[in-house]
Structure 1
Amino acid sequence: MLIIVHQLYCRLRGENGSQLRRDQLIDWHDYKAMAHDALRVGLGEQGRAANLDNVNRKAFKTAWLKYGFNGLLSDQISVERAVPDFRHKNCRNLTYHNELPSTSIIIVHRHEYPSVLQRTLHSLWNRTPSELLKEIILVDDCSYAPPFDITHEQDLMAKFGTKLKILRLTTHEGLIRARIAGARVATGEVLVFLDAHVEATHNWLPPLLQPIVDDPHTSTTPIIDVIDYNTFEYMEGLPTRGGFDWNFVYTELLLREDDHKSMPAPHQNPVMNGGLFAITAKYFWHLGAYDEGLEVWGGEQFELSFKIWMCGGRLLEVPCSRLGHLYRVANSQVKYTNRTEDFQSKNYKRVASVWMDDYQEILYKHNPELIKIDAGDVSERHALRKRLNCKSFKWFLDTIAPDLLLRYPTVVPPDYAFGAIQALAAPQLCLATLEKNSKRSKIKLRPCSGDLKQPAASQDWHLTFHRDLRQGDENCLDVQDTTLRLGPCQNQGGNQFWYYDPASKLLMQGEPWTERLCLEANMLTARAHMNTCDSENENMKWKFGFANRTLLGQFFNGLEKYFSY
């Protein structure tokens, strides 16, 4: 059966000598490779979580601190392992132009972990159509510890041949300028920029190229799946629309209703994540590439995204293209550079001063330290913007990201309630967190500390205009089943949507159109959990240090619009 399928696939691709019309659509799947991967077994195969039984604890800890992930486990997982297919079911039936542009893949690394980088290269080699792959350009940004010894390099060259080009920079340029260096030597029609710690999935490239063929002023991004830094489990990522807050932190906006309905068609993406995208070489240079005045890394994804949209192009996320990305543990000691100056703030100032018009003042209001920073000479970038006849930043916000100001208003609205959350059944106890690690923080009932309006940080909660309960700027109270945890704020409701009713004293979780649960105190365990709401249950009654009754009376105004994307 597999032979028959492969023969049919070869006929469709014209590998038996038949000539296809340029406008003919074909199936680009490599069914033989997919069938081979489906049979693979072993540690980490099929993207399953893996563990090591016997490890040298000292070496294990050293690798963790140096690289931010389980490097010893990576060494034991095949560099050609199979990963799961999380694509929308309709992606398997889609066809693309039989002639797609040649592609140069550019990967910048700086002392990357050897087996992780090799897995990146092998997954790309095994799952990229050879007729589309012009070259893989590996840019070594002056690593002080080369990732490959001579044997490794010879093995790679033997497998990849002349399609693997290694560009070694003699000075540390930083990610941004290293990418530009790679682009300068690229010979493919399309440039695909990838991080050095990714894994490609089957048929990832043709869906990225199709929109570019249809409109050369297009840049495309894949859906990014997540590779766990401890177990190397390959986990499903979700479609996104990128955005930013007024600290210039990349955020994720909700998909529009039309995007959901048209899935898995490509949808508009206001801001790229930054690490993984495709663009024609001609259009990349037409846009002025990256601003070479940007240092090391940070802000480059905003600059390029703004340019694409404001200067006549479009940026699309392509759900049928997926790549896994290995994220490092938050407390790792990994440093891309030894430079100590605040280069990121300089980058943000530089991008804002060229592309954000009057909205840069909002950025400075939220980040006053940017005002005194010297962004350097930006006259050439202003001239580029004028030469390209680019639109205003207001146009970008109104047309491409109309929900961004809804989620990140220029002036942050006051909280609906804030301070300690006191259990009225036991007024001496308040809701508190016990650990600073946001992924492991335990929610407990602890003796209330001091002023209820201004308690200790572990008891200081804010019911914000996002309708979430947060501590600090980034961590929100999240509900999994009936269990509470503190996790990164998503600004998207769901498990993080909370409402406080000052009349009943109930603290409810869930949007009004869902089945709500209420926060309940358990005095025996000094814990809190979620349960079916009961206004007669004294253990479900809570009091904030301060609750703005007027604002709470308007809590649901505009709610459907806020969550309509």
Structure 2
Amino acid sequence: MFLKLSGLRIKIHRKHTLLQVFLICVILISIYQLHTRRNGVQETQSKADNGGRVEWRDWHDYVAIARDAEREGIGEQGRPAALPSGYDKEVVAASWQVYGFNALLSEQISVERAVPDFRHSRCLSMTYYKVLPKTSIIIVHRNEHPSVLQRTLHSLWNRTPHELLHELILVDDFSTSPPFEASLEQKLLTKFGTKLKILKLSVHQGLIRARVAGARLATGEALVFLDAHVEATHNWLPPLLQPIVDNPQASTTPNIDIIDYDTFEYIEGTPARGGFDWNFVYVELPLLPEEQAALPAPHNNPVMNGGLFAIGAKFFWHLGAYDEALEVWGGEQFELSFKIWMCGGRLLEVPCSRFGHLYRDGKFAVKYTNGTDDYQGKNFKRVALVWLDEYQDVLYKYNPELVQIDVGDVSKRRALRERLQCKPFKWFLDTIAPDLVRKYPPFAPPNYASGAIQSVAAPQLCLDLMQLPVENPIGVLRPCSSNLKNPIDSQNWQLTFHRHLQQEKDYCLEVQSNEPNAFIWLWLCHYEGGNQFWYYDHQSQLLMQGEPWTERRCLEANVNSRRLYMNICDSSNVNMKWNFGLVNQSLLDNFFEGLQANEEMK
């Protein structure tokens, strides 16, 4: 009996042990399944969050493209247009004086006109991420012509994927003339619905603060800032957004085409890199050879032109947005570009995204404010104090008037730079734009030659500017100044390290024709060689225009009429011989050294 009971107890104990083991296994399996399920949910969520970043999509709207291809009419397909006969010339002239472009012609062109597609052929077949950020487009306008503004808005509406277009924010910076009529507002609101938000500022803030006001209203994941006088092309937005998805600290700019202010012709622009000279004037730099070879891939852009760019909303605010102590406009694109690069970001131009930009007549002076202060000078100095480090002294060297300008307190902006642990400005110049300092050196190398340009045929006569305005033909000989090395201003010329023949204020001599007896012109320096490239041969005394691999012309004097012309060089012609007041012979002996190797940086 005892043995039976003992065996029973053993069996019961074994069953109990097996039950415990079973329960433990069940618990372990349950924990494993729960853990696996949780990981699975997280993995699924991660894939959802990545939203198909591994999935690609052709974002082209082929219906809209086909519809545009069929459009006919004045200015359609970007063709040049003209006003019909019968317009009063005084009315046309008055319109030009108000806007700086052919405003009456703009009214004749459809606000939904089609424009040509100048994208690189490979852009046509490119796909982008299936999921891209919802985008707020911010446009500031002040006294903009209604037809131009409507063309901007309609081109965006017709050529932007609506699932990406979160909102259009139109900021009216206290327009006074023409008033943005309520009927037009209502028409736009009816057309664009709830995606259009109109913000009216009660006082004039200027472009910079008005953009920040629009950004505060925005709720999109990405922000696109645009000028009010642009025309979007097809599939412009996805190429701008994809680099921002890849790198949330990236900002992107489109390739900018030109809309002619007279005919509204849509003219193809070329990819470029932005920069600046030491007057803080925005300039364009050529693509580096490897960037040119990789087109249409996005390429580094040292400085944005400021009018059109995209940026992640979080990154924009992380950088401190714009400095709202900057006045009206000017310098803000430098501040933002420097911040992007120096504070951990990247700025790219995206050639597969294109916009047409309406540029006003260069002779038209836009009045941005009724104030008399040098607001741009203030802006430049404020940017320099915060971001240029020791290079701010270079800016003051070229612009000594900035030294006396009061720019207010910059301590908060300096604290922002410190908090973001931004790199030095020298790093920006050395790493991001090394060719900029070669083209616009902080301290200009000596001139090849300078002073008066004296005729050998008539030594009493020298080349004189006669204080003519820029963009005029010149070519007058006048009695030479008594000091040829340091003559009067109108006779003081420099053959610079850029190989320009120029006077102060970036005015250069250029030749615009290869015809016999061609005029020479005074023009703004473009720093691209070509028709502004000059060489002085101190042995033959010829003053030649044209690069060594082109057919050159030489400056020739007609001593009887005291006029100057360009003709085929002839070293035996005494009328083509000239003396400079001061010649740096050793520099001239090496004038062409490295020229071809650095041709892209001339």
Question: Is TM > 0.5 for Structure 1 vs Structure 2?
Answer: yes
Aligned to 1:495: 531
What secondary structure, in the 3-state scheme, does the structure 1 residue paired with 2:219 have?
A: coil
Report Cα offsets for 1:391-442 as digits up to 9, x if no partner: 1111111101112221222222222122443444555665555784533x11
User: TM-score when scaled to structure 2?
Assistant: 0.85
CA distance in 1, matches of 2:504, 2:265: 30
Query: 1:107 touches 1:179 (CA, 8 Å); kept in 2?
Result: yes
User: Bigger shift: 527-536 or 62-71?
Assistant: 527-536
What SS does structure 1 have at the residue aligned with 2:258? Answer: strand
What SS does the aligned partner of 1:223 have? strand
- Give me the whole-angstrom Cα distance separating, in 2, the residues matched to 1:364 and 1:435: 26
Corresponding residue to 2:282 among 227, 234, 250? 250
Measure the CA separation in 2 of the matches of 1:351 and 1:261. 34
SS in 2 for 1:403: helix
Distance across 1 between alignment mates of 2:373 and 2:230 = 29
Residue of structure 1 equivalent to 2:243: 211
Residues 57, 91 of structure 1: CA spacing in aligned structure 2 closer, same or farther, 3 A cutoff? Answer: same
Match of 1:97 in 2: 129
Mapped partners of 2:521, 2:68: distance in 1: 37
1:261 pairs with 2:296 = no
Q: Name the SS for the 1:415 alignment partner.
A: coil
Report how far residue 21 of structure 1 moved: 4.4
Superposed CA offset, 1:96-145 (max 9, x none): 21222111110111111111111111111112122211111110011123
Structure 2 alignment gaps of length 5 or more: 1-50
Confirm whether residue 193 of structure 1 aligns to residue 228 of structure 2: no
- Aligned pair in 2 of structure 1 residues 368, 472: CA closer, same or farther (>3 Å)? closer
Of 77-86 and 397-406, deviating more is: 77-86
Instruction: Indicate the residue corresponding to 1:515 in structure 2.
Output: 550
Q: Which amino acid aligns with 1:547?
A: V
For 1:527-542, list aligned pairs within 5 A.
530-542=566-578
Q: Distance in 2 between matches of 1:532 and 1:135?
A: 61
The CA RMSD measured in Å over matched residues stands at 2.4
Which residue of structure 1 aligns with residue 10 of structure 2? none
- Give the letter aligned to residue 497 of structure 2: F
Q: Highest relative contact order (Cα 8 Å, sep 6+), 1 or 2?
A: 1
Contact 1:478 1:496 in 2 (8 A): yes
Q: Report what 1:29 is aligned to.
A: 60
What amino acid maps onto 2:212 in structure 1?
Answer: I
Identity %: 65
* Structure 1 residue 322: Cα displacement: 1.5
Tell whether the 8 Å contact from 2:478 to 2:562 is kept in structure 1 after alignment: no
Residues 272-283 of structure 1: pairs in structure 2 closer than 5 A: 272-283=304-315
SS of the residue 2:475 aligns to = strand
- SS of the equivalent of 1:386 reads helix
Report the Cα offset of residue 552 of structure 1: 1.4
1:390-469 to structure 2, matched below 5 A, reads: 390-425=422-457, 430-431=462-463, 436-439=468-471, 441-451=472-482, 452-453=484-485, 459-469=491-501
Three-state SS of the structure 2 residue aligned to 1:295 is coil
Q: 1:427 to 1:550 in 2, by over 3 A?
A: same
1:181 pairs, out of 194, 213, 221, with 213
Distance in 2 (alpha carbons) for counterparts of 1:62 and 1:22: 53
Give, in angstroms, the shift of residue 315 of structure 1.
0.5
The one-letter amino acid of 1:204's match is W
Structure 1 residue 225, shift from structure 2 partner: 1.6
Structure 1 distance, partners of 2:87, 2:165, is 39
Match status 1:82 vs 2:109: no
- Does 1:323 find its partner at 2:359? no
Deviations 1:311-363 (A, max 9, x none): 00000111121212112223324212112212222212211111111111222
Select 2:387's aligned residue among 330, 336, 355: 355
> Structure 1, unaligned stretches of length 5 or more?
1-19
Q: CA deviation at 1:530?
A: 4.7
Q: Distance in 2 between matches of 1:521 and 1:543?
A: 13
Matches within 5 A, 1:49-198: 49-52=80-83, 53-145=85-177, 147-198=179-230
| C-alpha contact 1:346 1:373 (8 A) present in aligned 2 | yes
Task: Say yes or no: does 1:485 pair with 2:485.
Answer: no
Q: Structure 2 CA distance, aligned partners of 1:222 and 1:384?
A: 28
For residues 271-315 of structure 1, what are the alpha-carbon distances to aligned partners after superposition, in whole Å with 9 as ceiling and x for unaligned? 111111110101000111011111211111111011000000000
How many residues are aligned here? Answer: 544
- Tell me whether 206-215 or 418-427 shows the greater mean CA deviation: 418-427
Structure with bigger gyration radius: 2
Q: Distance in 1 between matches of 2:274 and 2:195?
A: 33
Q: 1:419 to 1:54 in 2, by over 3 A?
A: farther
Partners of 2:581 and 2:74 in 1: how far apart?
A: 52
User: What amino acid maps onto 1:159 in structure 2?
Assistant: K
Deviations 1:35-79 (A, max 9, x none): 322332322222222222332233222222222222122112222
Q: CA deviation at 1:246?
A: 1.6
Distance 1:100 1:535 in 2: 66
Which structure carries more helix by proportion? Answer: 2
Per the alignment, residue 13 of structure 1 pairs with none
1:445 Cα deviation (Å)?
4.1
Equivalent in the alignment of 1:7: none
Query: How many Å apart are 1:562 and its aligned residue?
Result: 4.2
Contact 2:342 2:428 (C-alpha < 8 Å) held by counterparts: yes
Distance 1:522 1:80 in 2: 55
**Residue 379 of structure 2: SS of its match in structure 1?**
helix
Q: Which residue of 1 aligns with 2:334?
A: 302
- CA shift at 1:184, angstroms? 0.6
Normalising by structure 1, report the TM-score. Answer: 0.90
Query: Quick check: 1:433–1:458 contact (8 Å CA) kept in 2?
Result: yes
Looking at structure 2, the residues matched to 434 and 197 of structure 1 have their Cα atoms a distance apart, in angstroms, of: 38
CA contact (8 A) 1:431 1:443 kept: no
Give 1:241's aligned amino acid: R
